[in-house]
Amino acid sequence: MLRRVARFISGRLLPRRAYTVLRGPMKGSRFILGSLSGEGGGASVYLGEMEPEQTATMAEAMRPGNVFFDIGANVGYYTILASRLVGEAGKVVAFEPVPRNIEFLRQHIEINTAANVILRPQAVSGTKGTVRFSLGPDSAMGHIGVADEGDGELEVETTTLDDVVSELGIAPDVMKIDVEGAEREVFLGAARMFETARPVIFLSTHSDELRAWCLEHLRGLGYAVRPLIAGEDGHEFVATHD
């Protein structure tokens, strides 16, 4: 009920600007109302109710000094969360290809003085280059590939995790992958990385086929994979290496 009331108030009454988060591990951060898709525009962020299971599990997984890769960062909720958790000694690398989301992501980095964040305005894939990218029906559902009827489309730059790790000289301790159907490509572009790095992975899969492929691939790399929410047979997972 509280979340529904907050969504109604924020969606209808409050100006679209940055407000301070009141509860949860993001408490004290500033987040722009209206930056997230949906009628509430991100109102649940202020009350500590934004994806609470993943937020809590991610907060437990990260330590000061860690490196976090946010693959499919959107407007930066998890980027800013991770920035706080890893601290000045840590690094966050945020990947996002959609111009509208990149602008909000830049603003969230700036207003939260998140100096430990590296913004990469790219899509993570299996190869470096450019690719057609569908903007999807809303700002959270853009994906690599030809646009459906009525959806916008643009060309975006792609990179691979292997190339980024080589370029920056850092590998992730924790990473989040939410790429609306490009999960396989992300893993295929990270073969060298997984030879030496074993990050904790928060994975969203976007079809039954991709779910099966990703889980088999991760288990082949020596990962134990469990549902994000115990007892749920869904598409959100946490993978840890023994």
DSSP notation for 6-65: HHHHHHHTS-SSEEE--SSTTTT-EEETTSSSSTTSSHHHHTT-SSHHHHHHHHHH--TT
What is the rounded CA–CA span in Å between residue 104 and residue 159? 21
Do 132 and 226 lie in a common domain? yes
Do 8 and 44 lie in a common domain? yes
CATH number at residue 111: 3.40.50.150
pLDDT in tens, 109-165: 999 999 999 999 999 999 999 887 776 665 555 566 555 555 667 888 999 999 999
Greatest Cα pair distance, the chain, in angstroms, is 51
Do 86 and 30 lie in a common domain? no
Of 50, 65, 88, which closes a domain? 50
pLDDT in tens, 28-40: 999 999 898 776 7
Do 81 and 147 lie in a common domain? yes
Do 72 and 164 lie in a common domain? yes
Domain count for the chain: 2
Q: Which domain holds residue 206?
A: 51-241
What is the rounded CA–CA span in Å between residue 12 and residue 242? 48
Q: What does the pLDDT read at residue 155?
A: 83
pLDDT in tens, 69-87: 999 999 999 999 999 999 9
**The Cα angle at residue 174 between residues 188 and 48, in degrees rounded to 5:** 125
